Amino acid sequence: MDLVQLTEEIVKSLVVDRDAVSVKEFPTEEEDVMLIQVIVAEDDMGRVIGKGGRCANAIRTLVQASSALKDNKYIKIDIDKF
């Protein structure tokens, strides 16, 4: 499973409106950095970010750990709403 699919599965497991989840990879100027943008419904933002950002940090940690096993790129995850 690639990192975008992993991120999408994790986020979809947290939200109510699974159809509103959009996860895409964007190129960066830096060679060893990967940017993943996550877009969710406005009502689901709290669930994805979590209290004090705990859920968002946990998602970043899981995806970064998976990256360390494969391509060893630094992962940046941007979470936004519709």
How does residue 34 score in pLDDT terms, banded at 50, 70 and 90?
very high
Q: What is the dihedral of CA 25, 77, 14, 54, to 10 degrees?
A: 170
pLDDT bucket at 82, cuts 50 / 70 / 90: confident
CATH 3.30.300.20 fits 3-81, yes or no: yes
Per-residue pLDDT of 1-29, as tens digits, reads 699 999 999 999 999 999 999 999 998 99
Say if residue 59 is exposed, middle or buried (CB neighbours under 10 Å; 0-12, 13-18, 19+).
Answer: buried
Q: Report pLDDT digits (tens) over 38-76.
A: 999 999 999 999 999 999 999 999 999 999 998 888 999
pLDDT of residue 39: 97
**What one-character-per-residue DSSP string does the chain give?**
--HHHHHHHHHHHH-S-GGG-EEEEE--SSTTEEEEEEEE-GGGHHHHH-GGGHHHHHHHHHHHHHHHHTT--EEEEEEEE-
